[in-house]
Structure 1
Amino acid sequence: MQNQSRKPAYIYTFASTQEELELCKLEMRSFFGVQPEGHCLKSSTCIDPSRSPFMKERIEILYEGNEVEDIVQQVGEIDIGPDTFKIIFLKINDLDDSEQISYDERRKIERRVGWPFKAEADVRNPDQVFGITVHEGRWYFGNYTKAEPVYLHHVKKPREYSTALSTRVARAAANIAVPHPAGVKAIDPCCGIGTVLVEALSMGIDIAGRDINPLVVDGSRENIAHFGYECDVKVSPIAEVNGKYDAAIIDMPYNLYTHATPEEQLDIIRHARRIADRAVIVTSETMDHMIIEAGFVIIDRCTVRKQMFSRQVLVCE
């Protein structure tokens, strides 16, 4: 049976290390509202795959069917004018290991699907790229978008801080806090050198930064300017932050190095509750009791591990 998708739908693929698998799944739940079982997911939600440190690619579905031949019969309808094209068979799919399609067979399928195209193929520098994959027993074909690892461009900063989050974790935390940025106002009230700010700004998130340390605020401003972004970053304790925000992102592990007392930690969380409806708190310590005492409810969570060190990422509302 041949079916053309009537409403926008997408296939996403993603991958992570075992240490970051929980973070990857939490980010996917934040984006799509569902728990992915494997390494691909079908959704009607449109996300730029370059936003995620874990997404690899996306297909915007044009055609689907039960067999490859169903796709072959439909692609002849595509008219891309004088443009050249390329078709990519997604290596990441939900097939069992025993059912995986070999490299040679994938190339044959790409050629078979491309044969009806009324255009010239160009495997090196095509004008348009299409993808084909199998998901939950059905075949899907559509516009292909490869994720760009934007966060890697942010690794080399003019100013560094040994306890800052990695750009991958910072980017995922920003996505978890603000999965859909339109109309959302966010704040990082303990922004340090701006690792979270840079990642958020690169994704078009409206975010402000505050920190009590003038030196790291200077570093944050320098890092943000280095990558060509602009942001409202000021020296200020969270207690003096006014206004209302939709989301706050707070990296708490710095407290281990500034010797913040439990009372000071609780105060930060209480003020986060005052200024934000939602908070993503990253901590190397167990803080559930403080978060609950501050008036938040933990609605989701995960643990990120790196060798012997681990951080908890807590989604609070």
Structure 2
Amino acid sequence: MTLQKGTTYIYTYAYAEDERSLCALEMRSLFGEVSQSNVLESFVKIDPSRSPFIKERITVLYEVESLENLFLQVETLQLSGATFKVTYVKNSGQAKSEQEGFENRRAIERELGLHINGQADLRHPDRLFGVMNIDGSWVFGEYVKSESVWFRHQKKPNGYSTALNTRVARAVVNIAIPNPNGIKAIDPCCGIGTVLVEARSMGIDIVGSDRNQLILPGARENMIHFGLSGEIHLADIREITNHYDVAIIDLPYNLCSVITPDEQLEMLQSARRLADKVVVVTVEPIDEILLKAGFSIIDRAVAKKGLFIREVIVCN
């Protein structure tokens, strides 16, 4: 591997086979490309905890062809009294013969630590470094491990069986809003607030609304439970007059929310009016209705859970 000039970030990924399509769409949205392995190299800096699929990020400081050269490189690190820890990042995409065994990985961590001019602290280091072998080259840099924020959000006070799971919801938010700076978003069919919780936990400026007044107290309680704030209004999507950069719409489909094709068309026409970009989550084919509502379909993915399939469709 030969890194290009500029700050380069290495991300490692983990996903189930059923999540491959959704993960690829999230990659395209966040980075503008898809890796064919479990490792992605990019100039784009993303907090790894944003994605349910990213495991780790290394901000590359050195990239060399041999460990001996890497030992020499790390001797130049200036830590200014900060403590450190080195973590060997496994590359699960490499052939087994190229993967280092446990003892060898620990040995490489220790040897690098001996060449770094500073005090190692394995429990509470000031700085974390990662080392990784990619296609025979050695990469070393600042290391950040992802936190499974979406997993904590599974334990919310209120929920219902047909709501998006938090892992999918988090990916959908990233697909809809890859760069949150200056973006105003809305979830106009917010239900129990699963998308709102994921978006607000990432600091995204999003409001929620729903026409079902019975569900809104539960959505508000879910937000408060996780220490989050945000507006949630009682409103029919067809009556919303404000304009937003992005709308995320998980189309109602359970037995309590049966809507006709005409109602779907009205909802999507309203979405077309109130937002520049719309990401629709649906359990049934709606391409014809989307086109009729005036949308262009930009990208899409399938989110599977056993035999249950949702489509995530990006439109503008």
Does the residue aligned with 2:61 lie in a helix, a strand or coil?
strand
Segment of structure 1 superposing worse, 269-278 or 102-111: 102-111
Q: Deviations over 1:135-186 (max 9, x none)?
A: 3443211110010001111111122122110000111101100011000111
Change in Cα spacing, 1:168 to 1:56, as seen in structure 2 (3 Å) is: same
The answer for the alignment partner of 1:54 in structure 2 is 53
**Secondary structure at 1:131 match in 2:** strand
In structure 2, the residue matched to 1:127 is: 126
Q: Counterparts of 1:58-73 in structure 2 under 5 Å? A: 58-73=57-72
TM-superposed CA distance for 1:70, in Å, is: 2.4
**TM-aligned CA deviation for residue 112 of structure 1:** 2.3
In the other structure, the counterpart of 1:43 is 42
Identify the residue that residue 101 of structure 2 maps to in structure 1: 102
2:191: which partner in 1?
A: 192
| Structure-to-structure mapping, 1:104-183, within 5 angstroms | 104-183=103-182
1:182-235 deviations in Å (ceiling 9; x for gaps): 001110010001000000000011001111000112211111122111111101
For residues 235 and 182 of structure 1, what CA distance do their matches in structure 2 show? 27
TM-score scaled to structure 1, two decimals? Answer: 0.95
Q: CA deviation at 1:82?
A: 2.8
Write the letter of the residue equivalent to 2:215.
Answer: V
SS in 2 for 1:204: coil
TM-superposed CA distance for 1:131, in Å, is: 0.1
CA distance in 2, matches of 1:229, 1:272: 25
Give the Cα–Cα distance (whole angstroms) in 1 for the partners of residues 205 and 255 of structure 2: 29
Q: In structure 2, list runs of 5 or more residues that go unmatched.
A: none
Q: What code does the residue aligned with 1:267 have?
A: E
Report the AA paired with residue 112 of structure 2. Answer: V
How far apart, in 1, do the equivalents of 2:5 and 2:258 lie? 57
Give, in angstroms, the shift of residue 111 of structure 1: 2.0
Answer whether contact 1:93 1:134 (CA < 8 A) is retained: no
Please tell me the root mean square deviation across aligned C-alpha atoms, in Å.
1.8
Kindly report structure 1 stretches of 4+ aligned residues shifted beyond 4 Å: 3-6
* Distance apart, 1:254 and its partner CA: 3.2
> Offset at 1:6?
5.4
Aligned to 1:230: 229
| % identical aligned pairs | 50
> Do 1:212 and 1:236's aligned partners in 2 also have CA atoms closer than 8 Å?
yes
Equivalent in the alignment of 1:34: 33
Task: Give the aligned partner of residue 74 of structure 1.
Answer: 73
1:126 offset after TM fit, Å?
2.2
What CA distance in whole angstroms lies between the structure 1 residues aligned with 2:152 and 2:299? 29
Query: Displacement of 1:17 after TM fit?
Result: 1.0
Q: Which residue of 1 aligns with 2:291?
A: 292
